[in-house]
């Protein structure tokens, strides 16, 4: 049986890192609903399990040194968050994935195309849980350049 919560975690991590990369170096407020859509709380107002999992992924990334933030907004968002230098260098650096077309592109385009951030974007766009998993695992395995 598939560990669907781990597949969701990989999707969340990719979206969180890319959202912060897109706003770098400006601090941003990351709302769970912007990352995964709306999930209705239960009858007692407790956030949905999926919502809690995404919020927890944000906190875990902070604990592991991938991002920093000033505060939380209930369990809805993290405020004034930004990638750490480690994460910025990791995402801006090469993905390590071979791409034969890179030699035919202008250097600035080839550099962007070869980045781990682009690899994450491509994996999310593919809709393949396996590709997203492999791209996120690459984030966790690689040391920033």
Q: What digits encode the pLDDT tens for the residues 32-76?
A: 999 998 877 777 777 788 889 999 999 999 999 999 999 999 999
pLDDT value at position 102?
62
- Give the closest residue to 31 by CA, choosing from 43, 47, 42, 44: 47
Beta bridge partners, 79, equal: 71
Structural domain total, the chain: 1
**Spatial distance between the Cα atoms of 44 and 63, rounded to a whole number of angstroms:** 29
Q: What is the pLDDT of residues 94-121, one digit of tens each?
A: 777 777 666 666 666 667 777 899 999 9
Q: What is the pLDDT of residues 7-28, one digit of tens each?
A: 999 999 999 999 999 999 999 9
Q: How confident is the model at residue 145 (pLDDT cuts 50, 70, 90)?
A: very low
pLDDT value at position 141?
84
pLDDT value at position 135?
93
| pTM score | 0.88
pLDDT value at position 16?
97
**Spatial distance between the Cα atoms of 103 and 109, rounded to a whole number of angstroms:** 10
- In terms of pLDDT, which residue wins out, 143 or 135? 135
Residue numbers of the domain that contains 89: 4-141
Which two three-digit tokens encode residue 10? 């990989």
Q: Do residues 24 and 18 make contact, with C-beta atoms less than 8 angstroms apart?
A: no
Lowest mean pLDDT among 38-42, 122-126, 141-145: 141-145
């Amino acid at each position: 049986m598939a560990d669907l919560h781990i597949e969701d975690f990989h999707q969340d991590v990719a979206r969180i890192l890319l959202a912060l990369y897109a706003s770098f170096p400006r601090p941003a407020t990351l709302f769970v609903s912007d990352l995964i859509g709306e999930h209705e709380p239960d009858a007692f107002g407790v956030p949905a399990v999926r919502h809690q999992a995404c919020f927890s992924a944000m906190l875990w990334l902070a604990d592991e040194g991938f991002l920093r933030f000033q505060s939380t907004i209930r369990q809805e968002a993290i405020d004034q968050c930004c990638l750490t230098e480690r994460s910025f260098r990791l995402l801006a650096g090469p993905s390590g994935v071979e791409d034969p077309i890179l030699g035919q592109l202008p250097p600035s385009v080839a550099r962007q195309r070869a980045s781990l951030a682009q690899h994450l974007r491509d994996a999310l766009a593919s809709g393949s849980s396996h590709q997203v998993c492999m791209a996120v695992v690459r984030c966790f395995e690689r040391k920033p350049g």
